[in-house]
Amino acid sequence: MNFSLTAEHEMTRQMVREFAAREAASTIKEHDRAHQVNLDLLHRMAELGILGICIPARYGGAGMDYVCLGLACEELERVDSSLRVVMSVHVGLNSLGLLQWGTEVQKQRWLVPQARGDRYAAYALSEPGAGSDVAAIAATARREGDVYVLNGEKMWISLATVAHNFFVFAKTDPRADPPHQGISAFVVERDMPGVTTGDIHGKLGVRAGSTGWVNMADVAVPVENRIGEEGEGFKIAMSCLDNGRYTVAAGATGLIRACLEASVKYARERYTFGREIGRHQLIQQMVSHMARDYEMARLLYLRAAWLKNQGRRNTRETSQAKWFATEASFAAASDAVQIHGAYGYSDEYDVERYLRNAKGACIYEGSTQIHELIQAGYALGYREDRPLRCELPAYDEEEWQGGSNA
């Protein structure tokens, strides 16, 4: 067992940390207040190779491993949750899904520009009437010759008004029994006639991010845009979540660290009853929980990363990491606000933003309750993973860093 990071991991972490500190930290409050996406930061992430960090060089990426993806997410969310959300959908849910399930032609067409950051990508599964219950989606894809005609509305889609490419899930067989076997996956492009998008206003958190709806009215999607086989969409959607949830876990770990650092700083500055509040044992208890949970969350996501690097199935471990880290980040953010007293209740300090952002991650990519059900299923022997037709490729340094397409 080896707990140390390699020189490459350290370099990646340092690069993303510096980017976040120099370029994101100074603008996040302003964009969060204005409910505005900072597109300049996405361009910079593309330039730095972050948007294709763990995609092989031959597909336009930086050729780093899955640990680097997690470290990048941790560093981004330490400063700005909305940038980690970009990584979750653009890299985790979409690009890695293409790497896993796409044909060579599909990878060249969509993955290469996404990994370079020339095109942004989103993942459109949820609908107004279906979130946790994926098989209840109502969007349809009707085959007509060489195209599928897509109809339906996707809701709560991160990057809805920013992305160029959407990984869309729709029913090719609405009468399938069981219903999840009737779902198929498609790449829908923003400029296809019939696609319209908009942002949701009045969100609690991720205010510097785009979260919105994608409407499809008789969108003619060529058959070549179908990812995987007809009826394979549910499996594809779930395997994409194994990667998206990993980025959420790593990001939430960064948020715990942000809460810990802010709390320690404030606890050393603020005085009550003649001493730093950090000297009060009840404050120490909250800080100790953050310090413990940071280490636990970090170990859990790095274990999932190690499994991914080996090419081993990690649905259970990734779910554990996501479930633990997001709940712990919400608790840490709540305690961080408490430690800051009234000042924590204003946006003069960052901790109120941490609390608002942390709640979202307990809902998306499998709510806390869904992860509890998953984990209970494994523990009780009701659930087991079967091999997939296409598995996420194991990391191979030589292969991933060779053959640049950039």
Residues carrying an active site annotation:
365
Site for ligand FAD in 112-141 (CB under 6 A): 122-126, 131-133
Q: Is 369 in the site for ligand FAD (CB under 6 A)?
A: yes
Q: Are 72 and 15 in contact (CB under 8 A)?
A: no
Q: How far apart are CA 383 and CA 401, in angstroms?
A: 37
Partner residues linked to 361 by β-bridges: none
Nearest alpha carbon to residue 150 among 171, 166, 176: 171
Residue 119 CB, shortest distance to ligand FAD, in Å, is 16
Interface pick for ligand FAD out of 367, 375, 401, 405 (rule CB under 6 A)? 367
Q: Is 211 in the site for ligand FAD (CB under 6 A)?
A: yes
Give the per-residue contact string, 66-105, with ligand FAD (x = CB under 6 A; - = no). Answer: -----------------------x----------------
Q: How far apart are CA 121 and CA 150, in angstroms?
A: 18
Cis amide bond preceding 178, omega within 30: yes
Nearer to ligand FAD, 11 or 34 (CB): 34
Cα torsion through 258, 259, 263, 264, rounded to 10: -50
Nearest alpha carbon to residue 166 among 151, 182, 186: 186
> What token pair was written down for 53?
């960090």
How many other β-carbons are positioned within 10 Å of the β-carbon of residue 202? 6
Residue 370 CB, shortest distance to ligand FAD, in Å, is 6
> What token pair was written down for 327?
């709940």
Give the per-residue contact string, 268-287, with ligand FAD (x = CB under 6 A; - = no). Answer: --------------------
Q: Is 110 in the site for ligand FAD (CB under 6 A)?
A: no
Give the per-residue contact string, 181-210, with ligand FAD (x = CB under 6 A; - = no). Answer: -------------------------x----
Contacts with ligand FAD by CB under 6 A lie at 89, 122-126, 131-133, 156-158, 206, 211, 360, 363-364, 367, 369-370, 373
